[in-house]
Structure 1
Amino acid sequence: MNIGSLLTQTARKFPEKLAIECEGRSYSYRRFNEEVNKLAHGLLQRGVNKGDKLALMMKNSDHFVFSFFAAAKIGAVVVPINFRLTASEVQYILAQSDAALVICDKEFEKLIEDAILGTDVRFVVTVGEPETEWYYSYNGILSENKTEPDIELSEQDDLEILYTSGTTGSPKGALFDHDRIFKVGISVVINMGIGQHERILHLAPLFHSAQLNLFLISGVALGATHIIHRDFHPVKALQAIQEHKITHLFAVPSMYNFLLQVPNVADYDLSSIKRCGYGAAPMAPELVKRSIKLFKTDQFYNLCGLTEGGPGGILLDPEGHKLHLGKGGKPIFLTEARVVNEKGMDVRPGEVGEFILRSPMVMKEYYKKPEETKSTLKNGWLYTGDLAMLDEEGYITLVDRKKDMIITGGENVYSVEVEGALFEHPDVLDAAVIGLPDEVWGEVVCAVIVPREGAVIDEKELRSFCRQRLAGYKIPRRMFIEEQLPRNASGKILKYQLREKMNLVGDL
Structure 2
Amino acid sequence: MNLPLITCAEEHNEKIAIVTDERAFSYRNLLHISSLIATGLLHDAEDLQEQRVAFLIPPGFEYVATQWGIWRAGGIAVPLCISHPRPELEYVITNSGASIIVAHPQFEDILRLIATEKNLRFILTSETLPNHVSPLPNVDIKRRALILYTSGTTGKPKGVVITHDHIQAQVTSLITAWEWTSDDSILHILPLHHIHGIINVLTCALWAGAECHILSKFDVETVWNRICEGELTLFMAVPTIYVKLIAAWEKASKERQKIMTAGCGKMRLMVSGSAALPVQVLEKWQSISGHFLLERYGMTEIGMALSNPLHGQRYAGYVGQPLPQVEVRLVDESGELVPPGIPGEIQVKSPGVFLEYWQNPQATDKAFRDGWFCTGDTAIVENDNYRILGRMSVDIIKTGGYKVSALEIEEVLRTHPDIQECAVVGVADLEWGERVCAALVLRSQRQLTLESFRSWAKEQLAVYKIPTRIIIVDELPRNAMGKVTKPKVVELFHIK
State whether TM-score is above 0.5: yes
Q: Paired residue for 1:143?
A: 130
Deviation at 1:165, TM superposition (A): 4.3
- Relative to structure 1, the CA distance from residue 206 to residue 191 in structure 2 (aligned partners, 3 Å threshold; closer, same or farther) is same
Which runs of no fewer than 5 residues in structure 1 stay unpaired? Answer: 129-136, 407-414, 420-433, 435-442, 453-480
Q: Match of 1:170, SS?
A: coil
Name 2:385's counterpart in structure 1. 395
Residue aligned with 2:65, SS: helix
Instruction: Give the AA of the match of 1:382.
Output: F
Q: How does 1:303-382 map to 2 (within 5 A)?
A: 303-309=296-302, 311-318=303-310, 322=314, 324-382=315-373
**RMSD of aligned C-alpha atoms?**
3.4
In 2, distance between residues paired with 1:107 and 1:46? 28
Distance of aligned partners of 1:110 and 1:302 in 2 relative to their CA distance in 1, 3 Å threshold: same
Q: Does 1:6 align with 2:8?
A: no
Take 1:402 and 1:7, find their aligned partners in 2: how far apart are those partners? Answer: 40
Partner of 1:467: none
Whole-angstrom distance in 2 between the partners of 1:105 and 1:396: 42
Distance 1:187 1:44 in 2: 32
Contact 1:2 1:155 in 2 (8 A): no
Say if 1:82 and 1:207, in contact at 8 Å, map to a contact too.
Answer: yes
Distance in structure 2 (CA, Å) of the matches to 1:123 and 1:78: 15
Which stretch of the first structure deviates more once superposed, 270-279 or 153-162? Answer: 270-279
Matched residue type, 1:294? I
**One-letter code aligned to 1:301:** L
1:271 Cα offset (Å):
3.0
Once residues 327 and 155 of structure 1 are traced to their aligned partners in structure 2, the CA distance between those partners, rounded to angstroms, is 34
The CA deviation at 1:203 is 0.5
* 1:162 counterpart = 2:172: no
Post-superposition CA distance 1:155-191 (Å, at most 9, x none): 1111111111468631111111111111111000011
Per-residue CA deviations over 1:13-70 (Å, capped at 9, x if unaligned) read: 3322111111212111112211111111121126572311011212211100000111
Separation in 2, partners of 1:333, 1:397: 19
Q: In the TM superposition, what is the alpha-carbon distance from 1:291 to its structure 2 partner?
A: 1.8
Q: What letter is aligned with 1:404? A: V
Residue in structure 1 matched with residue 125 of structure 2 by the alignment: 127
Equivalent position of 1:463 in the other structure: none
Residue 169 of structure 2: aligned partner: 183
How many Å separate the matches in 1 of 2:299 and 2:246?
A: 26
Partner of 1:458: none
Question: Equivalents in 2 of 1:181, 1:446: separation in Å?
Answer: 31
Q: Is the 8 A contact 1:2 1:178 kept in 2?
A: no
Corresponding residue number in structure 1 for 2:410:
none
Q: CA deviation at 1:87?
A: 0.9
In the alignment, which residue of structure 2 is the partner of 1:38? 36
- What amino acid does structure 1 have at the position aligned with 2:22? G
Matched, 1:94 2:93: yes
CA distance in 1, matches of 2:286, 2:102: 39
Secondary structure, counterpart of 2:9 in structure 1 = helix
Give the direction of change, closer, same or farther, for the CA distance of 1:9–1:448 in structure 2 (3 Å limit).
closer
- Is 1:294 paired with 2:263? no
Is the CA contact 2:278–2:430 (under 8 Å) kept in the aligned structure 1?
no
| 1:117 to partner: Cα distance | 6.3
Change (3 A) 1:446 1:87: closer
Q: Given that residues 312 and 362 in structure 1 are in contact (C-alpha distance below 8 angstroms), is that contact kept between their aligned partners in structure 2? A: no
Kindly provide the CA deviation profile for residues 91-146 of structure 1, in whole angstroms up to 9, marking residues without a partner as x.
Answer: 11111111011112222222223444654x62222234xxxxxxxx3xx2x11225
Check the 8 A contact 1:320/1:329 in 2, yes or no.
no
Q: Percent same amino acid among aligned pairs? A: 24
Distance 1:451 1:186 in 2: 32
Show CA shifts across 1:260-314 (max 9, x none): 111226133333211011111111111112222322234x3212100000x1221
Question: Residues 446 and 192 (structure 1 numbering): CA distance in 2 closer, same or farther, change over 3 Å?
Answer: closer
Pick closer, same or farther for the CA change 1:248–1:401 going to 2, 3 Å: same
User: Could you tell me whether the CA contact under 8 Å between 2:153 and 2:393 is conserved in 1?
Assistant: no
Instruction: Write the distance in 1 (CA, Å) between the matches of 2:381 and 2:239.
Output: 23
Say which of 235, 247, 264 aligns to 1:249: 235
CA separation in 2, counterparts of 1:62 and 1:104?
A: 14
TM-score of the superposition, structure 1-length normalised?
0.75
Q: How does 1:188-203 map to 2 (within 5 A)?
A: 188-203=174-189
Q: Distance in 2 between matches of 1:308 and 1:212?
A: 13
Structure 2 distance, partners of 1:367, 1:49, is: 18
For the residues of structure 2 that align with 1:55 and 1:337, how far apart are their CA atoms?
Answer: 33
- 2: CA distance, partners of 1:278 / 1:451: 13
Indicate conservation of the 8 Å contact 2:376/2:391, yes or no: yes
SS of 1:99's partner is coil
**Structure 1: distance between partners of 2:53 and 2:349:** 29
Query: Shift of residue 364 of structure 1?
Result: 0.5
Where do 1:354-503 residues align within 5 Å?
354-391=345-382, 393-404=383-394, 497=467, 501-502=470-471
The 10-residue stretch of structure 1 (281-290 or 346-355) with the greater mean CA deviation from structure 2: 346-355
Cα deviation code 1:401-423 (max 9, x no counterpart): 112299xxxxxxxx99xx9xxxx
Which segment drifts farther, 224-233 or 350-359? 350-359
Q: Aligned partner of 2:160: which letter?
A: A
Structure 2: segments with no counterpart, 5+ residues: 400-405, 407-422, 433-449, 475-491
Deviations 1:372-431 (A, max 9, x none): 11110221111111121122x33221111112299xxxxxxxx99xx9xxxxxxxxxxxx
Maintained 8 Å contact 1:199/1:244: no
Distance in structure 2 (CA, Å) of the matches to 1:256 and 1:122: 41
2:101 is paired with a residue whose SS is strand
- Aligned partners of 2:204 and 2:426: how far apart in 1? 41
Structure 1 residues 182 and 448: CA distance shift in structure 2, 3 A: closer
Structure 2 CA distance for partners of 1:447 and 1:38, relative to 1, 3 Å: closer
Counterpart Cα distance in 1 of 2:136 and 2:217: 35
Deviation at 1:251, TM superposition (A): 0.6
Greater relative contact order (Cα 8 A, min sep 6): structure 1 or 2? 2
Residue 242 to residue 270, structure 1, CA distance change in 2 (3 Å): same
Count of residues in Structure 1 that have an aligned counterpart in Structure 2: 421
- Partner SS, residue 343 of structure 1: coil
Provide the rounded CA distance (Å) in 1 between the counterparts of 2:196 and 2:463.
13
Report if aligned partners of 1:15, 1:29 keep a CA contact under 8 Å in 2: yes
Kindly tell me: are residues 58 and 338 of structure 1, through their superposed partners in 2, closer, same or farther at Cα, counting changes over 3 Å? same
d(CA) in 2 for partners of 1:319 and 1:36?
A: 37
